[in-house]
């Protein structure tokens, strides 16, 4: 038997992995660099929908695609058309990898969330 939702709870959730969802602002993409915290590991931001370079298949390279809050905002009409009325976002704190579960600073949201203050 499936559990029942509380009365009045009609949430339709959509989970978003921000880096892979939509890149709405190219100016805030992670810069190509070697990561001090992981010696020998690099990261690069690749064009949306484009081919990744061969190095992105290496375990010593973290590929990014630049998804951000602006991209999520731009896709809200699409999500609403799907019937979505609640979002669940992967971690949004400063981190070194695209999934952001390796939080570097719990007190600092990644810089693209600064757009929320507009």
Q: What are phi and psi of 22, to 5 degrees?
A: -165, 130
How confident is the model over 26-73, as pLDDT tens digits? 888 888 888 777 788 888 888 877 666 665 567 788 888 888 889 999
Q: Are 55 and 72 in contact (CB under 8 A)?
A: no
The pTM score is 0.74
Which of 18, 14, 30, 15 is closest to 70 using CA atoms? Answer: 18
Element (H, E) at 15: strand 13-16
Cβ atoms of 62 and 53 within 8 Å: the answer is no
Q: Which of 14-23, 62-71, 74-83, 105-114 has the highest mean pLDDT?
A: 74-83
Average pLDDT over residues 80-101: 85
What ranges do the domains of the chain cover? 13-117
Nearest-CA neighbor of 18 among 65, 55, 59? 65
- Cβ atoms within 10 A of the Cβ of 4, count? 7
% of residues, the chain, pLDDT over 70: 74
The model's confidence at residue 7, banded by pLDDT at 50, 70 and 90, is low
Average pLDDT, the chain: 79
């Amino acid at each position: 038997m499936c559990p029942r939702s509380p009365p009045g709870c009609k949430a339709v959730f959509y989970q978003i992995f921000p880096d892979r969802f939509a890149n709405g602002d190219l100016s805030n993409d992670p810069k190509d660099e070697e990561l001090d915290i992981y010696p020998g590991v690099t990261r690069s931001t690749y064009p949306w929908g484009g081919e990744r370079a061969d190095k992105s298949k290496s375990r010593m390279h973290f590929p990014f695609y630049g998804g951000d809050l602006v991209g999520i905002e731009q896709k809200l009409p699409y999500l609403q058309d799907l019937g979505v009325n609640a979002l669940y976002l992967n971690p949004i704190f400063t981190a070194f990898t695209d999934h952001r579960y390796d939080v570097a600073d719990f007190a600092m949201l990644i810089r693209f969330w600064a757009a929320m203050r507009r």
